[in-house]
Amino acid sequence: MAVSDQDMATGIWNAAEGDEADARPHLGPRQRWARRKAILQQAAVLLLVAAVAVFVIRNTVVNLQARGLASGFDFLRQEAGFKMAFSLIAIDPTSTYGRIFLAGLLNSLLVAALAIVAATMLGFAVGLARVSPSAPVRYVARGYVELVRNLPLLLHLLLWQAVVLRSLPVVREAIGLGGFAFLSNRGLYLPAPVAGDAKAMVVAVAVATGIAAIVAGWSIRSRAQARGEAPPRLGLVLAAGGLVSNAAAIALLDWQVPVLAGFDFRGGLKLMPEFVSLVAALTIYNSAFVAEIVRAGVQSVARGQREAALALGLPPKLILRLVIVPQAMRVIIPPLANQYTHLIKASALATVVGFPDLVNVFLGTSLNQTGRAVEIAVITACVYLALSTSVALATSAYGRRVKLVER
Amino acid sequence: MATTSVSGNSRAPATAAGRLLATAVANPFGTLVVLGLAYLAWTLGLPIVDWAFVNATWVASDRAGCNPDGACWAFIVNRLPQFAFGFYPEAERWRAWIVLLAPPLLLLLAMAPDFPGRRRILVVGFCLYPIAAFVMLAGGVLGLAPVPSEKWGGLLLTMVVGLGAFVFSFPIAILLAIGRASKLPAIRLLATGFIEFWRGMPLIAILFMSVIMLPLFLPPGVEFPRLTLAMIGITLYSAAFLAEVARGGLQSVSRGQSEAANALGFGFWAMQGYIVMPQALRAVLPGIVNSAISLLKDTTYVMVVGLFDLLNIVNAALSDPAWLGLATEGYVFVGLVFWSLCFGLSQVSARMERDAERNQSRTPSGERKAP
């Protein structure tokens, strides 16, 4: 450390007292006492926490030995010997606990992702209706929000499970949705594509380029609109081309339509009722909260903004899209991300209705079978903490970016 | 949004019908929505009214005695004592009544006009409630017959778990919030880690873990009933959320306050207790009530560890052979209870927010912090 003359001088001043505060020579006796007190306090708290930790760990070790439970993470490579009612990757009784964990995690993520998308769309619609110029629309939206958010999520879930899905007809009398999809009390049957590998690649590429074209066309059009110019033809052509390419790709696939055979439908994709009710309950419950977040965001935009836009002659639709929503987003995003974290965590309710999510198959069945309570709890905790941390990190990154734009 | 400028030739004042028409024309989408909803309300609402009131049966001894076209409220009426108290023994129900009625009475007291000592009664009452309720229900002392916690259930259990977790989590939350705002890095880190851990975990997983893991953590031979284990989990979970609310409050108190307290010779805890925390908590009172609402709704999760709260006891009653197939009635009843509790609390919170805003805009210094 480079020591200046002045520091040397004061160092000599303090040398008489001879303690570690030499590094900060300007400290008086009071401050030094405060520093020492701070260090002592922290040491005391840390010691207390360490003592509790030692106590807990000792108890756990003794208890585990008393119950004859094995420990270690080797069970992840053992055969689990059970099946999952629904999984995105193939699971059979010879699958390992590690694979079961992965399948459960994927199921949890699938439920959360679907519900997040659906709840956001529904919530934005209801939230914008909450600030609609038409009073009846506002009242209806308010009624929806108050009805939905004051009921426990678990009640939503059980209601969907018991009342809505059980009142659906049996498989034989399934409600046909256009002859392609069927809805019965055993779940929702959707047509699913069956494609050879080569064909699937072609289709995937076509769909990807199609979507890219649509997005590009749309953004060209809306940018031109924002500048008040006539929308260029290129945007329209791109968007139309994308649509055609997507339609062609979808038509190119071999669609397997579910067909009633015996007691159940064959072919296509079967979504179990637990899955449907879980996604529905999560969507509806969270949409009410998203709606309130959106309403607060829109109302946070100063009224002068709208009035200025009106004075500039912007049509109402564009005012909402170009003036209100972008400014509201700054207020909306942080609580919205918070709500997403809630939703991800709430997807663990799958356990109650028996949908095989992470908590159900891992913290439930796997723990019961292996008895590795500590290991499984630690893994589960890490997964959820990683999920909520990543949402939080993404939000704070967004927050920083928005702040920079603002200043 | 779209205020159509009615061309200014005629100066006749708009009638109500005319304004309605103007709004409808200006906003065709909204009008369409309203018409569609009105139609839906007509086609769906009438059968619902028929089902819930016109054709409903209120008194019957089993399912067969109910009108099949209407709601069978007799199921709820017959089971009401069970839904309220669970399996609490009949002879000791008076104890459960006291525990169940104490919080509403305290709330009534809170609404009543002020008198000296009211505040103290309220604070002491709510702080002592969980312990008093626990002693009252469990018995074994003061000549009360012991009742194991497995027999508690229904609304009683919801109340004990909800209020108990809330009251117990409060001091923990305040300590955590102070810790997270502390200048001492070790304490700040510990508090932050604790808060983020409990906030990041799903309550379902916390409940599972508290029932499975907590017995492992305890010294051999010490055993807690499930209710206690679940309560510990919910309390810590709720404490983490409340701590974040309290932290928001701490941030809203300007630093001059604590500096002034220091200058006047207040010690750290006196400063927190008399100067900072009262202001911080008052600033986030609506947030605290909102946390209480979420906690109340979250108490239903105790179902996964086999406790019979209001929702689970109704759920269990649905499989009674004498009353099969009445899920709708059962859930509608639970929904009504929870909805009125939560909606009532949310109105309280909204009122507090309005009052706070009014008070704030009245302060002369205009010292308002951006949220």
Say whether both A144 and A56 belong to one domain. Answer: no
Domains: count for chain A: 2
Provide mean pLDDT across the span A266-280.
Answer: 82
Contact A363 B343 (CB under 8 A): no
Residues B180 and B305: their CA atoms lie apart, in Å, by 32
Last residue of a domain, one of A27, A50, A66: A66
Range scoring the smallest mean pLDDT among A17-26, A193-202, B69-78, B89-98: A17-26
Chains A, B: CB contacts within 8 A come to 162
Helix ranges, chain B (H): 16-26, 28-49, 74-85, 93-111, 118-138, 154-180, 185-200, 203-212, 214-217, 226-252, 255-263, 268-270, 277-283, 285-298, 310-317, 327-362
Residues A134 and B2: their CA atoms lie apart, in Å, by 10
Domain residue limits at A262: 97-191+257-406
A362 inside domain: yes
Contact A133 B186 (CB under 8 A): no
pLDDT for res A1: 40
Contacts of B311 in chain A (CB under 8 A): 152, 154-155, 158
Say whether both A107 and A59 belong to one domain. Answer: no
Range scoring the smallest mean pLDDT among A71-80, A231-240, B136-145, B359-368: B359-368
Residues A84 and B197: their CA atoms lie apart, in Å, by 29
pLDDT for res B236: 94
Nearest residue of A to residue B310 by CA position? Answer: A155
- Split at pLDDT 50, 70, 90, the class of A90 is confident
Q: What is the CATH number of the domain that holds A339?
A: 1.10.3720.10
Contacts of B198 in chain A (CB under 8 A): none
pLDDT for res B362: 55
B226 interfaces chain A, CB cutoff of 8 Å:
no
Say whether both A102 and A33 belong to one domain. Answer: no
- pLDDT tens, residue by residue, B65-100: 777 787 788 888 888 888 888 888 887 788 888 888
Say whether both A61 and A104 belong to one domain. Answer: no
Of the residues A45, A47, A137, A150, the best mutation for testing chain B's interface (the one with the most B CB atoms within 10 Å of its CB) is A150
A390 interfaces chain B, CB cutoff of 8 Å:
no
pLDDT for res A16: 44
Helix ranges, A228-272 (H): 233-252
Smallest CA–CA distance, residue B209 to chain A, in Å, is: 7
Say whether both A325 and A269 belong to one domain. Answer: yes
Residues A281 and A275: their CA atoms lie apart, in Å, by 10
pLDDT for res A154: 92
pLDDT for res A194: 67
Number of other CB atoms surrounding residue B41 within 10 Å: 12
Say whether both A302 and A394 belong to one domain. Answer: yes
pLDDT for res A24: 56
Of the residues B44, B300, B319, the best mutation for testing chain A's interface (the one with the most A CB atoms within 10 Å of its CB) is B300
Contact A163 B331 (CB under 8 A): yes
Top-confidence residue, A210 or A295:
A295
Contact A155 B315 (CB under 8 A): no
Contacts of A388 in chain B (CB under 8 A): 196, 199-200
A11 interfaces chain B, CB cutoff of 8 Å:
no
Contact A345 B216 (CB under 8 A): no
Residue with tokens 């708290």: A45
Residues B77 and B56: their CA atoms lie apart, in Å, by 12
A251 inside domain: no
Provide mean pLDDT across the span A288-313.
Answer: 91
pLDDT for res A127: 93
Ranges of each domain in chain B = 74-362
Contacts of A68 in chain B (CB under 8 A): none
A50 inside domain: yes
Smallest CA–CA distance, residue A98 to chain B, in Å, is: 19
Contact B335 A159 (CB under 8 A): yes
Mean pLDDT over the full length of chain A: 81
Report CA-CA distances (Å) from B210 to A370, B13, B237, B296: 18, 68, 11, 19
Tell me the residues of chain A between 301 and 340 that have a Cβ less than 8 Å away from chain B: 306, 316, 319-320
Say whether both A27 and A144 belong to one domain. Answer: no
Contact B327 A166 (CB under 8 A): yes
Tell me the residues of chain A between 254 and 283 that have a Cβ less than 8 Å away from chain B: none
- pLDDT tens, residue by residue, A129-182: 898 877 778 888 999 999 999 999 999 999 888 877 777 777 777 777 777 778
**Domain boundaries B74-362, corresponding CATH code:** 1.10.3720.10
Q: What does the DSSP 8-state code read for residue A168?
A: S
Say whether both A23 and A163 belong to one domain. Answer: no
A367 inside domain: yes
Say whether both A117 and A59 belong to one domain. Answer: no
Nearest residue of A to residue B23 by CA position? Answer: A134
pLDDT for res B299: 92
> Which positions of chain B have pLDDT values less than 70?
1-14, 360-371
Say whether both A112 and A61 belong to one domain. Answer: no
A92: left (phi over 0), alpha (psi -120 to 50) or beta: beta
A60, A135, A154 member nearest B301 (Cβ): A154
Helix axes A135-149, A273-300, angle to 10 degrees: 130
Say whether both A339 and A274 belong to one domain. Answer: yes
pTM: 0.82
A82 inside domain: no
Angle at A255 between CA A250 and CA A260, to 5 degrees: 150
User: What's the token pair of residue A211?
Assistant: 């979507």
Provide mean pLDDT across the span A110-116.
Answer: 92
Say whether both A307 and A374 belong to one domain. Answer: yes
A134 interfaces chain B, CB cutoff of 8 Å:
yes
A45, A374, A385 member nearest B187 (Cβ): A45
A240 inside domain: no
Nearest residue of A to residue B297 by CA position? Answer: A152
Of the residues A154, A286, A379, the best mutation for testing chain B's interface (the one with the most B CB atoms within 10 Å of its CB) is A154
Of the residues A46, A158, A341, the best mutation for testing chain B's interface (the one with the most B CB atoms within 10 Å of its CB) is A158
Tell me the residues of chain B between 201 and 220 that have a Cβ less than 8 Å away from chain A: 201-205, 208-209, 212-213, 215-220
- Split at pLDDT 50, 70, 90, the class of A195 is low
B26 interfaces chain A, CB cutoff of 8 Å:
yes
Contacts of B217 in chain A (CB under 8 A): 56, 59-60
Nearest residue of A to residue B301 by CA position? Answer: A154
Dihedral sign for Cα B315, B321, B327, B330, please: negative
- pLDDT tens, residue by residue, A308-327: 999 998 888 788 888 888 88
User: What's the token pair of residue A335?
Assistant: 């609580």
A129, A137, A158 member nearest B331 (Cβ): A158
pLDDT for res A23: 53
